[in-house]
Amino acid sequence: MQLVINSYGAYLHKKDELFVIKTDDKTTPVSADKVDSILISTAATISTDAISLAIERNIDIVFLNHFGDPIGRVWHSKLGSTTVIRRWQLKAEETPEGFMLAKGFVVKKAEQQIAYVKDLKKNRPVMVDEFNSVLSAMENILTDLRETKGNAASQRGRVMGLEGMLSRHYFGILSASLPKKWQFAGRSRDPAKDPFNAMLNYGYGVLYSQVERGCIISGLDPYIGILHTDNYNKRSFVFDLIEIFRINVDRVVMNLFVAKKVKTEFFDEVPGGVMLNKEGKAVLITALNEMFETKVKVGRRTVTIRSSIPLECHHIANSMIGKGDGV
């Protein structure tokens, strides 16, 4: 279980082989045998004895700020689950298992994109032929993706090439679905060439922080990628994993434009493009927060989209632990 200490003034200490959480009104003992990780946020404290017990039991301690973002963690020196996970990630680029995991992220993104394009098609009967053509092309590419086998080292270029083709079809039909004023010519970054991409890029930036948080909390190393290669200070695994969550931001941004909630005043011109300004960010962040608090089904549980991200990360981490050294 994950032990979360988020009550103001809470105190975590050790008694025998128990973690004891003390708040103003009650004391709660928890067996160390049942704890996999400890998250500490708000103005909570932890004793050195509790830290020592966690280290002895290979239990991660992660400190979060008031926004729930990781600001540090206590690492243990023994070979525990976090070390096994990192070893799995380091080997994954060369293994079929690692490739299937990372390719699965791209496949899931493609499936989500196709489902969303079908949703858009329902409300645009005059564009049915254009939608059918795009959907046919996307489904053919998805088939090629599913049939691609090997490892990331040998198939990285092919997967990213297919992903790029999917992206062009996908964003092409998204653009065609917008009012003419807001239509755009493909994806653009650093800077965005148009308001749609400026808003999308900022939304993805917010999502990156949520995915990185999920990785750190679950013991995944954000810097050890599989499809995305390792570079100094590049969160390569976040770039791999974010693919399965992008659709949530896509829907938010599209809805804002289609609902005519976006104004030209939300954007400032910069050399080579445009950027979202303070007024625009406020509107987008409000919409993103509403999205993150939307309830979804994850297995048998109903959780918010925000909570589903670390849950997915835990699922991935647990699958890696199960494989152990057999990668």
- DSSP, residue by residue, 162-217: HHHHHHHHHHHHHHHHS-GGG--SS---SSBSSHHHHHHHHHHHHHHHHHHHHHHH
Strands 11-15 and 60-64: unpaired
Q: Which CATH superfamily is domain 2-78 in?
A: CRISPR-associated endonuclease Cas1, N-terminal domain (3.100.10.20)
Q: Comparing 287 with 217, which gets the higher pLDDT?
A: 287
Q: How confident is the model at residue 327 (pLDDT cuts 50, 70, 90)?
A: very low
CA-closest candidate to residue 109, choices 247, 251, 294: 247
- Residues 47-62, mean pLDDT to the nearest whole number: 88
Q: Which residue has the tokens 């994950």?
A: 2
Residue 294 has pLDDT above 70, yes or no: yes
Residue 140 has pLDDT above 60, yes or no: yes
Q: What are residue 21's DSSP bridge partners?
A: 12, 28
CB 47 within 8 A of CB 14: yes
First to last CA, the chain: 26
- Residues 106-117, mean pLDDT to the nearest whole number: 98
Write out the H or E segment, with its range, that includes residue 4: strand 2-5
Phi/psi region, residue 274 (left: phi>0; alpha: psi -120 to 50; beta: rest), is: beta
CATH fold group of domain 85-323: Four Helix Bundle (Hemerythrin (Met), subunit A) (1.20.120)
13 is in an annotated binding site: no
CB 22 within 8 A of CB 10: yes
Q: Cite the residue boundaries of each domain of the chain with CATH code 1.20.120.920.
A: 85-323
Rg (CA), the chain: 22
Residue 90 has pLDDT above 60, yes or no: yes
| Model pLDDT, residue 58 | 74
243 is in an annotated binding site: yes
Residue 288 has pLDDT above 60, yes or no: yes
- Residues 310-323, mean pLDDT to the nearest whole number: 88
Q: Cite the residue boundaries of each domain of the chain with CATH code 3.100.10.20.
A: 2-78
Q: Supply the DSSP symbol for 271.
A: T
326: CB partners within 8 A, 6+ apart: none
| Model pLDDT, residue 73 | 76
The predicted-structure confidence for 297-307, as pLDDT tens digits, reads as follows 988 899 999 99
17 is in an annotated binding site: no
| Model pLDDT, residue 231 | 65
Residue 325 has pLDDT above 60, yes or no: no
CA distance 53 to 56: 5
Q: How confident is the model at residue 219 (pLDDT cuts 50, 70, 90)?
A: confident
C-alpha dist (Å) from residue 286 to 195, 218, 238, 257, 282: 18, 27, 24, 14, 6
